[in-house]
Chain A
Amino acid sequence: MTGLRKVLKLRTVVSSSAGLAMATSCYLAGLYVAVVTVGELAWVSLLIAGVLCLLSAMCFSELTSLYPTAAGIKLYIQNAFNEKTAVAVAMFYVIGGASIVGVESYLLSSVLLDTVGILIHPLVDRFFWQLIFILLVGYINYRGVVLTGRVQDFLTYLMLGFLICVGLYTFTVKGVDLAAAVASPKFTLENIFTATALGIFLFIGFEWVAPLAEETEDYRMVGKGMMIAIGLLSITYSVFVVAMYTGLTPEQIKSGTTIPHILFARNLFGSTGAAVFIFMSILASFTSFNSGVLNNSRFIYAMARANILPRGLSKLHPDHASPWLAIVMIVCFAVILSLFTLLTGRYMFIVVVAAALECFIYVVVALCVLRLRKKLPDKERAYKVPLGKVIPVFTIVVFTLLMIGMFADSTKDSHGNILFQNYWCALAMVIFAGLTAFYAWRVMPKLKAAAEEKAKTRKRRRPQRRPAS
Chain B
Amino acid sequence: MATSAEIMEALEDYKIQCNNNKRLRRMQRDWTKLLHFIAEDTGDKFTMDVIKGEIINNKEGAEGTPDVIITATSEDMCDMFWGDLNPAQKYLDGEIRVKASQEDVQRIDAITMIIWPDA
Taking Cβ atoms with an 8 Å cutoff, the residues of A that contact B are 1-6, 67-71, 74-75, 78-79, 144, 146, 211-212, 214-215, 294, 298, 301-303, 305-308, 314, 316-321, 323, 454-455, 458, 460-463, 465
Contact = CB atoms under 8 A, between A and B. Distances in A.
Contacts of B113: 305, 314, 316
Contacts of B89: 305-307
Contact of B105 (A2, A144, A214, A308): A214
A305 B88 contact: yes
11 contacts: A6-B67, A68-B97, A69-B97, A69-B98, A71-B94, A215-B101, A306-B89, A316-B113, A317-B27, A323-B106, A462-B78
Interface of B: 6, 9-10, 13, 23, 26-28, 34, 36, 38, 62, 65-69, 78-79, 82-84, 86, 88-89, 91-94, 97-103, 105-107, 109-110, 113-114, 118-119
B100 A462 contact: no
B91 A69 contact: yes
A5 B114 CA distance: 27
B83 A461 contact: yes
Nearest to A317: B27
Nearest to B78: A462
Contacts of A78: 93
B94 A4 contact: no
A70 B99 CA distance: 10
Contacts of B13: 461
Contact of A301 (B9, B27, B106, B118): B106
A4 B78 contact: no
A455 B85 CA distance: 9
A318 B27 contact: yes
A298 B65 contact: no
Contacts of B99: 4, 214-215
B107 to A, nearest CB: 6
B107 A321 contact: yes
Given A5-B67, A75-B94, 13 more contacts: A1-B38, A4-B66, A4-B99, A5-B34, A146-B103, A294-B102, A302-B91, A308-B92, A314-B113, A316-B113, A319-B26, A455-B118, A462-B78
Contacts of B10: 462
A7 B54 CA distance: 24
Contacts of A321: 27-28, 106-107, 110
Interface of A is mostly: loop
Nearest to A468: B3
A323 B103 CA distance: 11
Contact of A318 (B6, B26, B69): B26
A462 B118 CA distance: 16
B92 A302 contact: yes
A2 B27 contact: no
A302 B88 contact: yes
Contact of A75 (B92, B100, B110): B92
Contacts of B109: 302, 305
Contact of A462 (B26, B38, B84): B84
Contacts of A71: 91-94
A12 to B, nearest CB: 11
A298 B110 CA distance: 12
Contacts of B84: 458, 460-462
A211 B102 contact: yes
Contacts of B27: 316-321
A5 B104 CA distance: 13
Nearest to B47: A2
Contacts of B82: 460-462
A317 B106 CA distance: 12
Contact of B65 (A2, A68, A455, A461): A2
A126 B79 CA distance: 53
A402 to B, nearest CB: 31
A454 B88 contact: no
Nearest to A466: B6
A405 to B, nearest CB: 35
Contacts of A3: 65
A1 B45 CA distance: 11
B105 A462 contact: no
A459 to B, nearest CB: 9
A212 B92 CA distance: 15
> Across chains A and B, which 7 residue pairs bring their CB atoms closest together, nearest first?
A305-B88, A462-B82, A306-B89, A461-B82, A5-B65, A71-B92, A306-B92
Contact of A4 (B23, B65, B92): B65
Given A75-B93, A298-B106, A318-B26, A305 B86 contact: yes
Contacts of A303: 92
A320 B78 CA distance: 28
Contacts of B9: 463
A295 to B, nearest CB: 8
